[in-house]
Chain A
Amino acid sequence: MSEQPGRDRHQRQTLILLIVSLVAILTAVGISILFATQFDRIVFLHFPLGFYILAQGVLIVMVAIAFWAANAQEHIDNTLAESEED
């Protein structure tokens, strides 16, 4: 048993957040590259879809993940601080 369960939980949640964020980004990029030529057969906003996804779609997803991860990590940090105060 660890002497600091609050800190261990914090480390675990931080690691999970990191893995989830990285997997989400890599999945988005990977799928976009892998199926780019197939997506290109579909037209979206006058763009070939594969082109649009890599030019803008994945960027939007990545930035959304960046802000979400920053907020989620702040929540995790606040939870640790509150649990230690209790």
Chain B
Amino acid sequence: MMQNQLEIKVRDAAGAIVFDLVGDLTENAEKDFDSAIKPRVSPNCRMVMNFSRVQYINSSGIALLIAFITSLQAAGGVLRVYGLTPHFQKIFEIVGLTQYLRIDPDETHALDPATA
């Protein structure tokens, strides 16, 4: 499968940092995670990932998320995601990611601290 390099756009919204992911989440995104996402982790930060323009996630992409979520949790931060296809919602559940992050239906819900 031809993979599309992941692009990460960062913006602030309602006291959270939102990462709009565009492309494929695979091992090729390791450096982008290291440069665009990890430096934003701070104590008790709130982060949101928008997966609505992610076409493909492979097992390496899942591993990247695991590595990220465990370091985020160590800093007391939280991650919420939205825009995931039903298939990848199930994959997140199977590998146990849903114990560490919350899947929301859309950005409004993801940014709402009351639903955390």
| A-B interaction | no
The interface of chain A, by Cβ under 8 A from chain B, is none
